[in-house]
Amino acid sequence: MEPSLYDFTVTRNDGSEFSLATLRDTSVLIVNTASKCSFTGQYTGLEALYQEYKDRGFTILAFPCDQFAHQEPGSDAEIAEFCKLNHGVTFPLMSKIEVNGKGAHPLYVWLKKQAPGVLGGSIKWNFTKFLVGKDGKSVQRFASKTEPEELKTSIEGVL
């Protein structure tokens, strides 16, 4: 049977395990993030999306990643503090992971298989976005440069 989003477990920013099965019937935007990137300001837009849609069965999961020009050097605690203080982030932050290469988190291996991008089986840069439908299987991919507010039509389509 083909895996779905609900088959994965990830680690939260505080070190606790989080089964994505708890998100069944929720549309999820998954984003690899970084605190020292030209796209970092997107955290504010992501938070606005989260506030607008969270009561309609939508959430955002941010996965900090330091694989692109060392733009996420901080610890999980430093990342959480930065996101809260500078962007008011309240959506779930996960522990720092790798999204490419041999150490890529299995969730990202699956996401890239479901929605290959221009580079096929890899992530090009920080703030690549994957929108997963409530079925846990349908995945749309959006480039780093796609601003969060540009996702509204797609989000409404999966709610």
Catalytic residue selected from 3, 37, 74, 154: 37
Longest dimension (CA), the chain: 43
Residue 37: active-site member:
yes
Residue of 106, 42, 50, 111 lying closest to 71 (CA atoms)? 42
Residue 3 identity: P
7, 114 contact by CB (below 8 A): no
Catalytic residues: 37
